[in-house]
Amino acid sequence: MPKFECQTCKQPLSDEVAYYTCYKDKEITHYICDICARRERVDRYKASGHIDTRFLLDATLALSRFEDGVKLKDYRPELRQLYEQEGDTLIQAGFCVRRINVVVRELEQKLWFPWMQKYFRDSEARGHSADGPGFHALLWGAAGRVLLTLRKRTPDGSGEELFEPSITIIFDETSSEARCGIQGLDATETEAVGLLRAAMEHLKEFYPDEAVSVI
Ligand SMILES: [Zn+2]
């Protein structure tokens, strides 16, 4: 068993400290405190532009706090240092998420309202899939929410990809108002926008697919 401390900053952990438990093959490999995990996400973004769902939340929150005029002194001390050092990067990433959201809303107008919503509502199947050039699309839902996942298609025979760009959008099954949003992200801005544009251009129909289910 790894020592119960943050692997990065070595601070001892307890229930008082927010931390993550990291696994590989169901075995615990290490622990990391929330602040070090946030730093890792910032560093990953700075190195590659990659945004995962947690970093999306970090960046969105940073931008809205910035716009709300929250002062650095108002942050809790552990976060303050991170914002002092990485605030500009977080805000920049927040704008990046916003630009992706604009294209997500465009997809809602071009695909969801014109046919996807009706297709889903008229079908008894809850899981559907489709393929387009370079992407695989999944559509599934429950309890009035419908999720569309766009994933870069892994070429046959290439084995398992460790990192596969994807974006998941959540829609309201019955509403006619524009209210979709990003539910999950694992991509750079370029990759996410590329997937969204490819879907808008090529996605014309879905097929029921029993392999697609609510996770
Ligand atoms: Zn730490």
Q: What percent of the chain has pLDDT over 90?
A: 80
Query: Which residues neighbour ligand 1 (ion) by CB within 5 Å?
Result: 6, 8-9, 33, 36
Q: State the residue for tokens 């889903």.
A: 120
pLDDT of residue 168: 97
pLDDT of residue 184: 96
Cβ atoms of residues 134 and 153 within 8 Å: yes
How much distance in Å is there from the Cα of 80 to the middle of ligand 1? 15
How much distance in Å is there from the Cα of 199 to the middle of ligand 1? 40
How much distance in Å is there from the Cα of 10 to the middle of ligand 1? 6
d(CA 94, CA 131): 30
The number of residues in the chain equals 215
**At 68, phi and psi to the nearest 5?**
-80, -5
**Weakly modelled stretches of the chain, pLDDT under 70:** 154-163, 214-215
pLDDT tens for 143-189 read 899 999 999 986 655 555 545 799 999 999 999 999 999 999 999 99
Element (H, E) at 59: helix 53-67
d(CA 97, CA 108): 16
Please give the model's pTM, rounded to 2 decimal places.
0.89
pLDDT tens for 114-123 read 999 999 999 9
CA distances from 49 to 3, 119, 142 (A): 32, 35, 32
How much distance in Å is there from the Cα of 192 to the middle of ligand 1? 30
**Angle, CA of 198, 141 and 163, to the nearest 5°:** 50
Question: In this structure, what token pair is assigned to residue 116?
Answer: 């996807």
Q: Among candidates 124, 148, 152, 146, which has minimal Cα distance to 138?
A: 148
pLDDT of residue 144: 92
How much distance in Å is there from the Cα of 109 to the middle of ligand 1? 43
pLDDT of residue 17: 87
Element (H, E) at 51: strand 51-52
How much distance in Å is there from the Cα of 52 to the middle of ligand 1? 20
Cβ atoms of residues 178 and 105 within 8 Å: yes
